[in-house]
């Protein structure tokens, strides 16, 4: 998949291993693993929904976003970059047609 970043600052962090470690510490190892899975996937439907990746669609104020697990509480959050968003007949996102994503953040949104 093609990967973009929501901000220049985030891209700078993800593009530099030293910065990634400085900002995310031990979590940076998991970030790199998940980014490799995302980069090598042909589309969003290819990302495993089972652990350890556990790609899942978010709801409520995060509708239209997805996350993969980093650890028990932290997630790598992203959204499809396609515009317009590819939809199925039932209104859901057609994950097979999502071939580009935008990384939004690494977050513990369970607080």
Q: Which helix (H) or strand (E) holds 10?
A: helix 8-15
Neighbours of 43 (CB within 10 A): 17
Pairing mode of beta strands 2-5, 100-107 = parallel
User: CA 62 to CA 33: how far, in whole Å?
Assistant: 23
Burial 21-30 (b: 16+ CB within 10 A, else e): bebbeebbeb
Q: Which of 95, 29, 25 is nearest to 78 (CA)?
A: 95
For each of the chain's 111 residues, which pLDDT tens digit applies? 999 999 999 999 999 999 999 999 999 999 999 999 999 999 999 999 999 999 999 999 999 999 999 999 999 999 999 999 999 999 899 999 999 999 999 999 776
Instruction: List domains and CATH numbers for the chain.
Output: 2-107 (3.30.2310.20)
């Amino acid at each position: 998949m093609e990967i973009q970043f929501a901000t220049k600052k985030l891209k700078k962090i993800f593009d530099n291993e030293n910065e990634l470690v400085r900002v995310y510490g031990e979590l940076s190892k998991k970030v790199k693993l998940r980014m490799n899975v995302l980069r090598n996937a042909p589309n969003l439907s290819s990302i495993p929904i089972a652990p350890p990746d556990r790609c899942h669609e978010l709801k409520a104020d995060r509708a239209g976003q997805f996350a993969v697990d980093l650890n028990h509480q932290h997630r790598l959050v992203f959204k499809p970059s396609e515009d317009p968003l590819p939809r199925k007949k039932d209104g859901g996102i057609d994950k097979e047609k999502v071939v580009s994503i935008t990384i939004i953040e690494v977050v513990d949104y369970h607080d």
